[in-house]
Amino acid sequence: MDIPMDGAAALESLRVRVNRERCQGHARCVALAPELFELDAFGEAREIADGWISSALEGKAWLAKANCPELAIDIERAGDSA
């Protein structure tokens, strides 16, 4: 069954992931997209909850990815192979 990518089906179609081996704690992601990222007790970022985001926050996800100097943020679309 095809799922239309509009309306409710478009929600949570993207997932952000922090590569914990690359993250050096610059915290730009948290500053730019606090809805999507948080720092752990060691000052390294992790995605909030399971990383699935609503389409309304897609822009912030790409902004955070573009501003991470360690290239530690990945963005996956639903259906992408892991």
Residues whose CB falls within 8 Å of the CB of residue 47, separated by 6 or more in sequence, listed in order: 15, 16, 17, 18, 36, 37
Min separation Cβ 52 and ligand F3S, Å: 18
H or E segment and range at residue 23: none
d(CA 12, CA 58): 9
Stretch near ligand F3S under the rule CB under 6 A, chosen from 8-16, 26-34, 55-63, 74-82:
26-34
Stretch near ligand F3S under the rule CB under 6 A, chosen from 7-15, 52-60, 67-75:
67-75
Contact set with ligand F3S (CB under 6 A) = 18, 23-29, 45, 68, 70, 72-73
